[in-house]
Structure 1
């Protein structure tokens, strides 16, 4: 296993399963860049790590920029490692959109995986750009004065396709 047991994810966590399966498919010749978020918190409690491949922790907003730098460095060295970015919906749909846009617009050879749980779950279930219309969160509560989130979920596949993403 390239994403090992012993991490501190909640039982049945989709992000932990996604990391495990992604790395099974990607193999050992892989470098992972992970945005701040649940996955970083549960997979790397100091001094431990669940990652058995090179792994880089970045800020919420710059995982794609860090990955772009890794891709450029690998290309300069003539190396062929796969570069995978993993981020939650907050780091993907909202906070990190600028850097994702830049990486895709420049055509960097990386794979971006968003584990979308439709809200900022790690910090109290606040609304994000991935929160569906009508959903109730702590910052868009449903009740007598509101029906919940008043905005539609961002269409990230269309946004990335507009950048010429494969």
Structure 2
């Protein structure tokens, strides 16, 4: 078993410049910095229109030290497949080709290209940072927006539908590696990205990424809110390696233990203010049933 990363043995090399255009308290900025540390300099990024496009900056100014291909919204995984083919033609198959997209570009607009890449067995890493709405264009609901959340397109009663389980959809393709992670547990995320670089074939990592302006909480509470999602049992951290499922340490510690109520998580964010007591109780029952299974 590989040694777990700690703050003491985390690489000091940085691949993101100190200045960028991310919002204050941005969960993506944490995920991106840590993820690039795990990938290392022998990597090429493929990014669609998203908050990450804003974070990186516009040509000729960029906050990222790695080469990046900016592509259309629907083509992220397909473009990554093309970059992988180009690397192979150049005899550089050891380069990490990494598609990095938001939940809108993954669960909705780009899911057909991602499904195709998984079905073909393309040797790419796909990282979805899930801030649970189209944040870059004004907080519109996406497929992964949770039920009851207020957005600019669900402004009164909140979203009616449940959150789309994208990791389960991708796992159904039978790819070698699927994992979930959280910006609130960056070292767990680092180890999962590092592992993905050692596996041949499609790899998918879904990262829960708190967004202060879109979720409605103070910028200093990004990590607190992210941890609550995991500790209440709403967002599970796990790995599926060649079909074998295992909970990651932050979630494994919850097994058989009393968890904080989901209402603690909801109360910490303005986007859940439309939830009534009955809906909160229903969600609590669903979470309890999941963890009792």
Asked if Structure 1 and Structure 2 have the same fold, meaning a TM-score greater than 0.5 normalized by the shorter chain, the answer is: yes
SS at match of 2:79: helix
Match of 2:63 in 1: 50
Per-residue CA deviations over 1:36-69 (Å, capped at 9, x if unaligned) read 1111023122320011111111111111111000
What's 2:199 paired with? none
Q: Distance in 1 between matches of 2:108 and 2:132?
A: 12
Bigger mean CA offset, 42-51 vs 96-105: 42-51
> Any gaps of 5 or more consecutive residues in structure 2?
1-13, 177-293
Alignment of 1:62-141 (within 5 A): 62-79=75-92, 80-141=94-155
In structure 2, distance between residues paired with 1:88 and 1:50: 18
TM-score (norm 1): 0.93
Aligned-pair CA distance for 1:74: 1.4
Q: Which residue of 1 aligns with 2:39?
A: 26
Instruction: List runs of 5+ in structure 1 lacking aligned partners.
Output: none
Taking the aligned partners of 1:3 and 1:61, their CA distance within structure 2 comes to 26
Give 1:148 deviation, angstroms: 1.4
Give the number of aligned pairs: 162
68-77 or 19-28, which moves further after superposition? 68-77
RMSD: 1.1
> C-alpha separation between the residues in 1 aligned to 2:149 and 2:44?
35
Q: Which moved more, 1:25-34 or 1:42-51?
A: 42-51
TM-score (norm 2): 0.54
SS of 2:45's partner is: strand
The one of 168, 172, 175 equivalent to 1:165 is 175
CA distance in 1, matches of 2:167, 2:44: 24
- Matches of 2:113 and 2:73 in 1, distance apart? 10
Aligned to 1:5: 18
Secondary structure of the residue aligned to 1:122 is coil
Deviations 1:130-155 (A, max 9, x none): 1001111111123xxxx311111111
Alpha-carbon distance in structure 2 between the residues aligned to 1:16 and 1:117: 12
1:152 equivalent in alignment to 2:162: yes
- For 2:166 and 2:103, the matched residues in 1 are separated by 10
Q: Deviations over 1:92-151 (max 9, x none)?
A: 110101111111111111111111111111111111001001111111123xxxx31111
